[in-house]
Chains A and B, each alone.
Chain A
Amino acid sequence: MTSPLEQKKIRITGPSMVTANRTWDGAVVYRTAKQGWSTELSDSAIVTTSDEARALLAEATADDVGAVGPYIAPVELKDGGKVKPGNLREHIRAKGVTIDLQVPA
């Protein structure tokens, strides 16, 4: 779970997406194939080569008003085309904290 914030060299080894935080509220968002952002991981554009990843990241970075701090993160592709987070960090970002907050509902 090394922080992706200092991502310099772009080299992916499996299916990946680009994620960031939405500027106005900080919500986790994923870059879509329609050059927009979605809060649903299943809407994310999946890339499988480093060149594709680099291009998707460049396009996402250009949208500085829409989202902050874009980076490339791994995903797992399940049967039926379902997209799952590729590591614990992305699992937590997608699903929320792993702890019982003890805050009254």
Chain B
Amino acid sequence: MYAYDELDRTLINERVSEFRDQVKRRLSGELTEDEFKILRLQNGVYLQLHAYMFRVAIPYGTLSSKQLRRLAHVARRYDRGYGHFTTRQNIQFNWIKLAELPDALSDLAEVGIHAMQTSGNNMRNVTSDQWAGVAPGEIEDPRIWSELIRQHTTLHPEFSFLPRKFKIAITAAEHDRAAIKIHDIGLRLHKNADGETGFEVLVGGGLGRTPFIAKTIKPFVPGRDILSYIEAILRVYNQYGRRDNIYKARIKILVHELGIEKFAKEVEEEWKAMGDVGLTLDHAAIEEVRSRFSYPAYEKLPHMPDELKQAAHDPLFERWRKNSVSAHKVQGYSIVTLSLKPVGGPPGDATAEQMDAVADLADKYSFGEIRVGHEQNLALPHVAKRDLPLLFKALDRLGLATPNVNLVTDIIACPGLDYCSLANARSIPIAQELTRRFANHDTADLIGRLHINISGCINACGHHHVGHIGILGVEKNGEEFYQITIGGRADENAQLGTLIGPAVPYAEVADVIEDIVEAYLALRDRPEELFVDTVKRLGVEPIRERVYATR
């Protein structure tokens, strides 16, 4: 956990007071909506179909049990009893009243939560691996660097009025769980030949109407120089990024139009021209932030405790353990993913009761800590293996032990037309129907790892371009239609999916997805060959032929 200091607390509290005054002036008519809009967006407040939507940051996906209980309180007191975890380590409340928002922000500020960097054309919430600090083989905890960047960029004028929103993600593990290649800047922490810690810097990733996979502009930037290097990138973006056309304003367009070599050269020249601007992180500054992260006092525990051996006779427990429990860097401990994808449920939603219960379980079994992943699931990062059987029973009672993590029903979906004012089509009902079609866990296990991502419009909040199967809602003559892509992926081998055929109407989507999965099962080389690898080996055509032959 990261402990805020007095400066952080003052900043957050002052922001609440400021916003309270802004809301008061808006409600009295002193501020017009045009004047107020930029202010509310700086505090995570959007206007959606039914109401205001309030987006709260969960920096690098780490929450304390106290903070999660407070989110539950906000859901219960100011909203309709639930929240929606997003693909960027935020939580959204869908029914909040503007008049009550200052009170909600104030309640959150008491536990160090805020909504800064969750909307507007500024640096957004820096995201990271939800297993940061506990993943085996990790270079070091990437959250230290996420926090350094967060502190530097928050309210920084260079980063507050950008041509467009700007997103950074950091990973320090071999397997990329932070989807860094679809971010404006992706940072991969690694060590150079001299054993020095630094970053591979990737730029220009992003989805939306013009998707790009980020490209490397510098293979190694020493950790001490990362703030100045990011500032150099932002200076080039601020100088050349387009402000005249919202659709061409993201840095990915600039990188594409300049070319990666030219862009890298511009950044390098800017970085050198900046000289020493006081942004070099000395050892003490890094250690100061590092010291604010506390880690549990782990016990010395056996690799295979008796409780686990006994529970192995329970097939339901074993299915869940194999699916949702992952290796921890400390012997005797595990990382447990809590699926927020129950059969028939809206992906990523959690009720206030579930949030409170997870907070209690975190206190009991995970040193009071919870993580939030971009896949819209939660995790308990420090669970002793001996506690797994009892934790499973508790999670099962809460509906949080669906053994579908990384399987076909672990669907990423945006809120879609049920909530979002930008959407063209619904996402959640499609996801719900698919989870019903593939509800049989044996079938899901047989299919193996398969990520379905659904977006209700081209803005791609559901990351459809990088789903193994991507579903994009579009409108045709007033009706909902869906384009389907296959072969995308968001990990270290990130790539964009390929369109498989003509868009299909709402009622046919689940049938088409079932046919795609059946085609894969028939075509795969061996049971271990993942869907995305079969598509890579064979291309789209053999699957297209089988799926569209009769359509």
Chain A contact residues, CB within 8 Å of chain B: 1-3, 5, 21, 23-28, 64-65, 68-69, 87-89, 92-93, 96-104
Contacts and interface: CB of A to CB of B under 8 A. Distances in A.
Contact of A96 (B50, B52, B351): B50
Contacts of A28: 49-50
Contact of B97 (A25, A68, A89): A25
B351 A1 contact: no
Given A1-B475, A97-B50, A99-B428, 11 more contacts: A3-B457, A24-B27, A25-B99, A26-B52, A65-B27, A65-B28, A87-B478, A98-B426, A99-B429, A101-B82, A104-B81
A2 B474 CA distance: 9
B367 interface: no
Contact of B422 (A5, A87, A104): A5
A87 B417 CA distance: 12
B62 to A, nearest CB: 26
11 contacts: A1-B475, A5-B422, A23-B98, A24-B98, A65-B28, A68-B47, A101-B82, A101-B346, A101-B349, A102-B342, A103-B80
A75 B507 CA distance: 24
Interface string B8-39: 00000000000000000011110011000000
A65 B421 contact: no
Q: Which among B50, B346, B349, B424 has the greatest number of chain A C-beta atoms within 10 A?
A: B50
Contacts of B99: 24-25
Contacts of B346: 99, 101-102
A26 B26 CA distance: 13
A23 B26 contact: yes
A97 B457 CA distance: 17
A52 to B, nearest CB: 22
Contact of A1 (B97, B349, B428, B480): B480
B27 A102 contact: no
Contacts of B47: 21, 26, 68-69
Nearest to B475: A1
A54 to B, nearest CB: 20
Contact of B98 (A2, A26, A87, A102): A26
B345 A2 contact: no
A68 B35 CA distance: 12
B82 A1 contact: no
A84 to B, nearest CB: 14
B49 A25 contact: no
Contact of A88 (B27, B422, B428, B480): B480
A99 B80 contact: no
A23 B428 CA distance: 27
Interface majority SS (helix, strand, loop, mixed), chain A: loop
B423 interface: yes
Nearest to A74: B478
Contact of B49 (A93, A100, A102): A93
A96 B480 CA distance: 18
Contact of B432 (A3, A26, A99): A99
A37 B453 CA distance: 39
Contacts of B95: 26
Interface centre among A5, A64, A88, A97 (most CB of B within 10 A): A97
A36 B211 CA distance: 44
Contacts of B48: 26
B418 A92 contact: yes
B424 A1 contact: yes
A25 B27 CA distance: 10
B50 A26 contact: yes
B425 interface: yes
A101 to B, nearest CB: 7
Contacts of B33: 23, 64, 68-69
Given A21-B51, A103-B81, A3 B422 contact: yes
Contacts of A104: 81, 351, 353
B418 A98 contact: yes
B51 A2 contact: no
B96 interface: yes
- Most interface-central of A26, A68, A92 (chain B CB within 10 A): A26
Nearest to A90: B49
A63 B77 CA distance: 30
A93 B50 contact: yes
B424 A103 contact: no
Nearest to B346: A99
A2 B95 CA distance: 23
A5 B351 CA distance: 31
Nearest to B352: A103
Nearest to A21: B47
Nearest to A99: B428
A24 to B, nearest CB: 5
Nearest to B425: A1
B419 A3 contact: no
B50 A64 contact: no
A23 B27 contact: yes
Interface string B395-436: 000000000000000000000011101111110110010000
B51 A1 contact: no
